[in-house]
Structure 1
Amino acid sequence: MNVEKFKKDHNEILALVAELRTITQAGIAKNADAIAQQIRTMSSVIKLHLAAEDRVLYPALAKSQNPAVAKVGERFQQEMGGIAAAYMEFAGKWTIGSKVSSNPEGFKEEANNLFKALHERIQKENQELYPLADQI
């Protein structure tokens, strides 16, 4: 299976996170509308990526002739559910500039926690999951 599109998505997501970080470092309250817009942009990319994984990647792994590959795919899919739900909750909360500007510290704390988990997940997929998918 060719996973280059998934890897490309990861690079795009990481670039969007880096851009969000730059915007927030310039001042959360004064850049609240730009932050909210960046989260909306990120959400579109992330939702499409998750849908593609659910429609293409995980079913292909589940059909693998190698039971170990199928099991890893299943584990990754189950783990992703929690991260995806956390992201959707985050995005639903912070896509309005006034909410960001009224609670900059809350935004910063939630963003740091979420994007740390997202970064770790992307690294795991790139290093563990996608090499397995490349074999099928």
Structure 2
Amino acid sequence: MTNASVSTALYRDHHANVGQLAGRIEALLASRSVESDPAALIATVRELFGIFAVHLSLEDSALYPRLLTHPDAGVRATAARFQTEMGNLRARFDLYRTRWPGPVAVAKDPAAFVRETRDVVAALKHRIGREDRELYDLIDRAGMASAA
């Protein structure tokens, strides 16, 4: 495997898991049980952010360093753009987690929690969709995917 060789399979798998959790969160938000018993939703949100934190760590330590040294200027530019955008999204997630640390915070304003959870889940889904279509597909087309 060369320095720039990357398999997108693991990252796409993570995205699929994140998408499934996002779907569970959306279903829980639609059930309107948030006001009476937010525990299941909060647990699922925490699970989502745990998995996403691992995913981001892998991207930061393995994927982006390889892409940023790729000989193709288009690959480098796309990777740099996505990495910059991810910093903004990460800050948004951190603010969300700080604002909604648990059931007590949710009980104080469940409507705001629902609204902000929908927003952050939508942003996450949008991001992983773009990453799959634009970045990962670019990696695959550039012949960077390893045989593994």
Assess same fold via TM > 0.5.
Answer: yes
1:57 and 2:63 correspond: yes
Q: Residue deviations 1:66-98, cap 9 Å, x none? A: 011101100000001011111122123224012
Runs of 4+ in 1 over 6 A off after TM superposition: none
Q: Name the structure 2 match of 1:18.
A: 23
Unpaired runs of 5+ in structure 1? none
Q: What is the RMSD of the two structures over their aligned residues, measured on CA atoms?
A: 1.3
Choose which of 9, 27, 51 in structure 2 pairs with 1:4.
Answer: 9
1:38 and 2:44 correspond: yes
TM-score computed with the length of structure 1 as normaliser: 0.93
Q: Residue deviations 1:50-76, cap 9 Å, x none? A: 011101111111110101110110000
1:111 and 2:117 correspond: yes
Q: Aligned partners of 1:9 and 1:35: how far apart in 2? A: 20
Could you tell me how far 1:133 is from its partner in structure 2?
Answer: 2.2
Q: Aligned partners of 1:63 and 1:133: how far apart in 2? A: 13
TM-score computed with the length of structure 2 as normaliser: 0.86
Unpaired runs of 5+ in structure 2? 1-5
Over alpha carbons, which structure has the higher Rg?
2
Could you tell me how far 1:47 is from its partner in structure 2?
Answer: 0.3
1:89 and 2:98 correspond: no
Greater percentage in helix = 1
